[in-house]
Homo-oligomer: A and B are copies of this chain.
Amino acid sequence: MRASYAVGLDVGGTRIAAGLVERKGRIVREMRRATPKGGPFGVVDAIIECIAEVSSSVHPSEIAGIGIGLPAQIDFGHQTVEFCTNLPLGGVDMRGLVMSRVKHSVTIDNDGHAAALGEYRAGAAKGARDFVMVTIGTGVGGGLFVGGQIHRGHRGLGGEFGHMVVDLEGPECPCGGTGHLEAFVARPAIIRVAKEAAATFRGSSILRRAGDDPDSITAEIVIEAANAGDEAAAEIMGNVGHVLGEALVGVVNVLNPQLLVIGGGIGETCPLIIERVSQAVAGGALAGRRDVRVVPAQLGNDAGVVGAAALAFDEYESREGMHR
């Protein structure tokens, strides 16, 4: 019998989302929980609990496998965690640890790759064979599809769109580089600029929305204000869109994708970003490439879960030697 479900997990620095997912990407059962602090074993325990909970209603034989997206650099071929900034998982055999405690096959991948795969299977990139997904949140990540396949590169480490230089003299990036995209568009950059603006532009609603406490300003507050027409906030988010757009002009010129999907907590909640990226690409990309569509991600937080489940289905299909 062909297994009808897979369990997808999206492990983040602060929370874990898990879902029981059908082959076409529909989530039939879902849960979220906080990511345990401390070492990798607590994270593994939490993953095991999530798997047990979302899959409790179906027979094990109905489950194709477990897919896990991690906020880490993954060597996909060897299924190893190379590097992880937000969780203590670097060098840890996550796949082995989880597999030793479940009856299913486990596949791990970078969370940006999983989100791109989710949007490809059931979201904004359905049917697109050559597309780029960029996620903007606390950091910048993403995935690149070439001919209907995730492009992982030589060691599975591709897709780090946040670490392209956009300004040789620009601000320092968390990775140590100078003037990288992430240093302009991710949450910390938005908050930094918004604090400055809140102090300067008295008419802006940013500070009021943060309860008059500059330290309570979040990127979400700035986006809310921008979406409500606040001028200072709109300028901040417009500039995020502008810089992202200029970086993506380069990506379009190098990769000639048919579609750009803008996702992540920041990317998919701010229409101004989509608008500015569209403008940058329409005006700045080389001839013949300007027909690239720019759209927000559709699956929101579910993209990672759906994509992780898709990894498990793919692994199952190739194991069973079946071809869709």
Contact = CB atoms under 8 A, between A and B. Distances in A.
Contacts of A73: 286-288
A-side interface mostly: loop
Nearest to A285: B163
A249 interface: yes
B157 A288 contact: yes
Q: Nearest 8 CB-CB pairs, A to B?
A: A153-B256, A164-B250, A160-B253, A154-B258, A163-B253, A158-B256, A157-B256, A83-B287
Question: Which residue among A83, A155, A180, A253 has the maximum number of chain B CB atoms within 10 Å of its CB?
Answer: A253
A164 B169 CA distance: 16
Question: Which residue among A155, A166, A249, A250 has the maximum number of chain B CB atoms within 10 Å of its CB?
Answer: A250
Contacts of A130: 153-154
Interface stretch (A37-45, A144-152, A196-204, A205-213): A144-152
A151 B129 CA distance: 12
A131 to B, nearest CB: 9
Nearest to A242: B168
A217 interface: no
Nearest to A131: B154
29 contacts: A73-B286, A73-B287, A144-B254, A146-B151, A151-B255, A152-B256, A153-B257, A154-B256, A154-B257, A155-B288, A157-B256, A157-B286, A158-B255, A159-B254, A160-B253, A161-B253, A161-B254, A162-B253, A163-B249, A163-B253, A163-B286, A164-B249, A164-B254, A166-B166, A166-B167, A168-B246, A175-B286, A178-B246, A180-B250
A109 interface: no
A165 interface: yes
Given A157-B256, A164-B254, 4 more contacts: A73-B286, A165-B249, A166-B166, A166-B167
Interface string A49-67: 0000000000000000000
A156 B147 CA distance: 12
Contacts of A246: 165, 168, 178
A274 interface: no
Contacts of A167: 166-169
A75 interface: yes
Contacts of A251: 164, 254
A265 interface: no
Interface in A247-274: 247, 249-251, 253-258
A176 B249 CA distance: 12
Question: Which residue among A154, A246, A256 has the maximum number of chain B CB atoms within 10 Å of its CB?
Answer: A154
A177 interface: yes
A288 B164 contact: no
